[in-house]
Structure 1
Amino acid sequence: MPAAHAQTARSLLDTGFAFDLPLTDRVTVMQRPHPELAVAGVRAGAFLVFPQVDLAANATSNVFGATDAALSDGYKTVAPRLDLRSDWSRHQLLGHLRGTFRRYLDYSIKNENGYDIGVESRIDIIGTSTLRAAVNADRIYITQLSGDFPRFAAASVPLDRQVASLRGSYAVNRLQLTGDVNVTRLNYGDTRARDGTRIDQDYLDRTSTRLTARADDRVSPVTALFVQGSYSRHDYRLARVDFDRSGGELRVIGGAAFDLTPLIRTRLGLGWLTRHYRTIGVTNLTGLAIDAQADYLVTALTTISLSLRRDVRDAIVAGSPGYVALRWAAEVDHELLRNLILIARADVENDDFARIDRGDTLRHAGASALYTLNRSVMLTPSIDISARASRGAQSGQRFSEVRAGLSVTLRR
């Protein structure tokens, strides 16, 4: 069963490893397997190939995120994808090729052409000890719903990413040690205002290198402890515009995954982070790092999930090196029928920008449904209400928007 199409905050640079408990008979609505509805894939020798295409029609009440005189528009999305997975008894090879093509009916300046291509390999060494290597390239778009969208921009900001990573893990008894090296290159495309004026984003191009070490202790089948430290170095290509944001970030976090009660599964990480800059006079960003989630299994058919995250992000806004983001989110998933899941969600993000007088608040609420007709066809109606407030002398865009649509997924 695919995951809910919730609107989530997505970091440009992933911040660590997935941390969760092994699945037991107590699972969330979205985790529960439905083998009678799962796709079988297409056999290709020792591989399974999973073709899929999403076709969507949507409408928005405020296509440009305007404070006043909002303009509505409709758009269609075609998103083909091809996933490949080896079917070996040991080791594994994964690959994917995906595209996301969005076309607006009246305002073509908003059109998007996204892609995502990648390969990942896993070598099984001894027991559960492994070595993983992955490369990935994609193009995503920073939209008006993001906290770091540039003011007065009409078109979304295209961002090309190339990522290479190498990860090794060694497990002995309850203890698992993991080391990771990740190199990410970010290349921002220019965007445009409604009058066609080009808005330069090249000053944000950078390469980031992250080293991470982690130790996990599986105390019991429902309890695990961890401690993790990472250091990231950010090297910006240009320093002539604005100021040089190059520098480093140290993040140390520890925590646990445990069952608070038989019906509440919890993951909690707390720590400290500091982001420093090479430019003289730019104050370091430091503070508490939080990454927490709790899943309340109300019944076998209903799950309530709450999450909280606090981190530091590089700013796309001229004059500010970065901002501290604090995000709360809640989601309710209810399995009305075996092939119909209803989803309601809400989240609030507060962004506090450094070095400039600006603070943003992003609010979102939405509802959707996952209706699986059979193994090959799924329907997803959705509606989302978003609002962005900005305060201060250098405030950003302030607007509200309603989006509604229907997606049809065809798969094998």
Structure 2
Amino acid sequence: MKYGFVAVALPGALVAVSHSEAAFAHDPTEVGNFFRARNASVMGRSRPEFKSEGVQTGAWIWDPELTVGVDFNDNVFAAPSGEESDTIWVINPTLDVETTWSRHGIQGHLLGLSREFSDFSDESTWTTDMGLSGHVDITRSVLFEAGFGAAELVESRTAAGVASIAAKPVEYDASNWFVGGQADFGRTRLILRADKIDYDFDDAELIGGGFADQDFRDREETIFTARGDYAISPFTSVFARYRKNERDYDLAPPAIANNRDSDGYMIDVGADFDIGGTARGVIGIGYNEQTYDDPAQGKLDGWGLDGLVEWYPTQLTTVTVRAARFIEDAPFEASGGFTSETVAARVDHELLRNLVLSAEIERSERDFLGIDRVDERWTASAGATWFVNRNVGVEASFTRMEQESAGAFPGQDFDQDILALRLVLRP
């Protein structure tokens, strides 16, 4: 079953390139010089006795799932004082579909997420997310793939920007498409991919009346990724990677005060490995740079990091460490962007064949350009996933988040505790 530990129910991720490697939906792990199927994490390993087979119609497998649950949040508005608590009822239907063809393939997903607040009804939200992608196996070692996605989402109350003073959660639309290709030449692998992502934010209704225009955040991002690997062995390769981005905003002066357009890149080198019975992961270290069209903003640059490693101290325990350092766009006009640093560690332990205990801790920091502000956030969570049978699962988690913001223009300091319970149903 595709159950997983969750700290808080969130909208499904838009099918777009992420900070991590622009991964292919189809990864031919069986190809000789790039074998990456020696290890399986506690949450990722096969459990046939607890996995629903879905519904097959011809060459298609339809995999529906319904998650219902409840959250208890002691600081709904992420306020520094005068905290307000509430109970949130969650309904999260999803549908995954994929083909069973021996060559080529199509994958898709559709999901909705309803969060109904018992006391603060204006906080209630409904979000959706859909995506479709496909790959063509031109030869055993060459493939092409493409896809698109679209989502209607809301910003969390813990987000920077206007979220803390808005009367309702800020809504926005996001959409993307991508094309890519992968080819192996003996010990060498080449990956190319292009993504285009669009964001469209609704205006924020303010506490006490009025609106805060969010059109200055509407933008189109283009990302091009090129990566070359050399296989030292079938289980380890070294790589060099180049990621180029262009961020074009819909509005420019005089409609807004500052030109927010920018372009940048990240170049890194690293290793991609799968050491049998010990660890697997991808680690890249390099350099980030983002240059802004507004001379007052100048540029942000510095070292970059993108890594995720799973370590298997025993067959029943997986320790996952992830770290990243990137440059992001800021959610307010005074700043062009910020440097984001994140490091996290997670432990999943299989106490029983159908019971997994999990714990995670994460530290993140945002250092903003153009204004004196640094946000530091700690998040710690613990939970359990119970695979009852092929059709039923239960999840429970507790999450604590703490943020401190420093500088001449700080954000809000806050603490937030969330207890989440979920019931997962599948046919």
Matches of 1:90 and 1:24, distance apart in 2 = 19
Matches within 5 A, 1:17-56: 17-18=22-23, 22-56=35-69
Q: What does residue 171 of structure 2 align with? A: 158
Structure 2 residue aligned with 1:319, among 328, 334, 337?
A: 334
Please give the secondary structure, in 2, of the residue aligned with 1:139: strand
* Alignment CA distance shift 1:64-1:181 (3 Å): same
- Residue 163 of structure 1 and its aligned partner are, at CA, apart by 0.4
Q: What does residue 300 of structure 2 align with? A: 285
Q: What does residue 119 of structure 1 align with? A: 132
Question: Which stretch of the first structure deviates more once superposed, 189-198 or 217-226?
Answer: 189-198
Matches of 1:209 and 1:220, distance apart in 2 = 34
Q: 1:14 and 2:18 equivalent? A: yes
* Alignment CA distance shift 1:208-1:25 (3 Å): closer
Counterpart residue type for residue 340 of structure 1: L
- Residue 389 of structure 1 and its aligned partner are, at CA, apart by 1.0
Q: What does residue 107 of structure 1 align with? A: 120
Matches within 5 A, 1:121-136: 121-136=134-149
Matches within 5 A, 1:255-334: 255-258=270-273, 263-334=278-349
Matches of 1:146 and 1:306, distance apart in 2 = 24
Q: What does residue 409 of structure 2 align with? A: 394
Matches within 5 A, 1:13-412: 14-15=18-19, 16-18=21-23, 22-147=35-160, 150-239=163-252, 240-258=255-273, 263-412=278-427
Contact kept? 1:142, 1:149, Cα under 8 Å: no
After superposition, the C-alpha distances for 1:287-336 in whole angstroms (9 at most, x for unaligned) are 11101233221211112222211101000023000100111101111001
Counterpart residue type for residue 2 of structure 1: Y
Contact kept? 2:160, 2:331, Cα under 8 Å: no
- Residue 396 of structure 1 and its aligned partner are, at CA, apart by 0.9
CA RMSD for the aligned pairs? Answer: 2.1
- Residue 180 of structure 1 and its aligned partner are, at CA, apart by 1.0
Question: Which stretch of the first structure deviates more once superposed, 372-381 or 278-287?
Answer: 278-287
Contact kept? 2:216, 2:333, Cα under 8 Å: no
Uncovered stretches (5+) of structure 2, i.e. residues with no partner: none
After superposition, the C-alpha distances for 1:11-70 in whole angstroms (9 at most, x for unaligned) are 986234239974444432122211221120101121010111111111100111111110
Aligned-residue sequence identity (percent) comes to 30
Please give the secondary structure, in 1, of the residue aligned with 2:297: coil
Counterpart residue type for residue 295 of structure 1: E
- Residue 261 of structure 1 and its aligned partner are, at CA, apart by 9.2
Please give the secondary structure, in 2, of the residue aligned with 1:119: strand
Question: Which stretch of the first structure deviates more once superposed, 189-198 or 230-239?
Answer: 189-198
Uncovered stretches (5+) of structure 1, i.e. residues with no partner: none
Matches of 2:114 and 2:209, distance apart in 1 = 22
* Alignment CA distance shift 1:92-1:264 (3 Å): closer
Question: Which stretch of the first structure deviates more once superposed, 358-367 or 213-222?
Answer: 213-222
Contact kept? 2:17, 2:195, Cα under 8 Å: no
Matches of 1:122 and 1:131, distance apart in 2 = 6
- Residue 89 of structure 1 and its aligned partner are, at CA, apart by 1.2
Please give the secondary structure, in 2, of the residue aligned with 1:203: helix
Counterpart residue type for residue 228 of structure 1: R
Counterpart residue type for residue 183 of structure 2: Y
Contact kept? 1:60, 1:403, Cα under 8 Å: yes
Counterpart residue type for residue 282 of structure 2: R
Please give the secondary structure, in 1, of the residue aligned with 2:48: coil
Question: Which stretch of the first structure deviates more once superposed, 195-204 or 266-275?
Answer: 195-204
Counterpart residue type for residue 202 of structure 1: D
- Residue 380 of structure 1 and its aligned partner are, at CA, apart by 0.5
Matches of 1:317 and 1:257, distance apart in 2 = 37
Please give the secondary structure, in 2, of the residue aligned with 1:36: helix
Contact kept? 1:203, 1:241, Cα under 8 Å: yes
Contact kept? 1:147, 1:351, Cα under 8 Å: no
Alignment: residue pair count: 411
Counterpart residue type for residue 128 of structure 2: Y
Matches of 2:72 and 2:163, distance apart in 1 = 23
Matches of 1:208 and 1:44, distance apart in 2 = 38
Question: Normalized against structure 1, the TM-score is what?
Answer: 0.94
Contact kept? 1:384, 1:404, Cα under 8 Å: yes
Contact kept? 2:244, 2:264, Cα under 8 Å: yes
- Residue 230 of structure 1 and its aligned partner are, at CA, apart by 1.7
Question: Normalized against structure 2, the TM-score is what?
Answer: 0.91
Q: 1:4 and 2:8 equivalent? A: no
Counterpart residue type for residue 90 of structure 1: R
* Alignment CA distance shift 1:265-1:47 (3 Å): closer
Contact kept? 1:143, 1:149, Cα under 8 Å: no
Matches of 2:119 and 2:415, distance apart in 1 = 20
Please give the secondary structure, in 2, of the residue aligned with 1:332: strand
